[in-house]
Amino acid sequence: MTRKGRLLAAAVWGFWMCAAAVGAFAAGAQEQAAKDYAEAAKAMSSGDTAGASKALSRIIESGQTPPAILVTAYFSRGAIYHAKGNLDAALSDYDRAIALRPDYGDVYVNRGNARYAKGDKTGAVADFDKAVELAPFSALASNNRGYFYLAEGDPIKATADFDRALNLSPKSPEILCNRGMARLLRDDPQGALLDFQAAIDISPQNAMAYRGRGLAYDALGQKARGAADLAKSKELDPRLADPTPTKK
């Protein structure tokens, strides 16, 4: 998986707000909007992203949706577009969500991911910075900015962000793997080994953790152990490309 791909995989979904949103709609006697939102949540939970997108579009286009709920609809539909690779549509929805609620940190995270995927590095890091500013206790915001720095070849800044993220979410295998890779790039295979081992302890079927631990063992001269972990990683996820850490 490419670094940009992993940034995209970290995109936030807006449907965690659906239950509260439906309650707000019902209280306002907007039964159709409540029905559409419930339909969107149900469709999303079953993997029917097309159905979810249609329901969200009805909410957006109704002209009766309260701004607080409209933000969530734009965010959620934008995340669906994002996951499908329709970055222009995703960015348009993220822009609208931010216009309605400029302090919504998670939307900046998603927009930063989309901007980076479009090659807009300046816009991406500005959004990640804004997300960290607005949500200093969000592990997601720090992790995504850290991965941006990692992808751009700055493992020192990346490590600082991953440290912050792990202070907030110490049991996250993804963040542990990210910091492990940053440590490999900083010529600290022993530290990397600790991070990848911790990720495996938490998530024993994590292909990226085995891949990273294999690279750490290899860097430490333990070739047989490294080869075994790399083979295990490929067994768990045959699509996973062999990452080759290089010095900055």
Query: 104 near 75, Cβ under 8 Å?
Result: yes
Q: In terms of pLDDT, which residue wins out, 37 or 106?
A: 106
Q: In terms of pLDDT, which residue wins out, 244 or 63?
A: 63
Q: In terms of pLDDT, which residue wins out, 35 or 174?
A: 174
- Average pLDDT on 59-85 reads 88
Instruction: Please tell me the distance from the alpha carbon of residue 51 to that of residue 205, in angstroms, as a whole number.
Output: 32
Task: Grade residue 205 by pLDDT with cuts at 50, 70 and 90.
Answer: very high
Token duo for residue 102: 């400029």
Contacts of 143 (CB under 8 A, 6+ apart): 10, 161, 162, 165, 172, 174, 175, 178
Phi, psi of 44 (to 5 degrees): -65, -40
Task: Grade residue 245 by pLDDT with cuts at 50, 70 and 90.
Answer: very low
- Cα 195 to chain centroid, rounded: 19
Query: 76 near 15, Cβ under 8 Å?
Result: yes
DSSP string, 64-90: ---HHHHHHHHHHHHHHHHHTT-HHHH
Token duo for residue 224: 């047989």
pLDDT of residue 190: 98
pLDDT of residue 242: 57
Q: Closest by alpha carbon to 243, among 195, 167, 182?
A: 182
| Percent residues over pLDDT 70 in the chain | 84
pLDDT tens per residue across span 174-200? 999 999 999 999 999 999 999 999 999
pLDDT tens per residue across span 84-97? 999 999 999 999 99
pLDDT of residue 196: 98
pLDDT tens per residue across span 214-237? 999 999 999 999 999 999 999 999
- The pTM score is 0.83
pLDDT of residue 225: 97
| Percent residues over pLDDT 90 in the chain | 68
